[in-house]
Amino acid sequence: MTVLEEHEMRRVIRRLAMQATECAGGTEHLVLVGIRTRGVVLAQRLQAEIAAAEGVSVPLGILDIALYRDDLLSGCDAVFKGSEISFPLEGKQVVLCDDVLYTGRTVRAALAALSGVGRADCVKLFCLIDRGHRELPFRAEGVGKSVPSGKNEKIIVHFHETDGEDRVLLLK
Question: pTM for the full model?
Answer: 0.94
pLDDT in tens, 49-71: 999 999 999 999 999 999 887 76
Task: Work out the average pLDDT over 64-87.
Answer: 76
pLDDT at 75: 54
Query: SS3 for 168?
Result: strand
Q: Say if residues 106 and 135 touch (Cβ distance below 8 Å).
A: no
> Residue 134 to residues 94, 101, 163: CA-CA distances in angstroms?
22, 8, 27
CB atoms within 10 A of CB 100: 21
pLDDT in tens, 145-165: 999 999 999 999 999 999 999
Find residue 97's DSSP bridge partners. 34, 126
Choose the weakest-confidence range: 42-51, 80-89, 128-137, 147-156.
80-89
Q: Is the pLDDT of residue 139 over 90?
A: yes
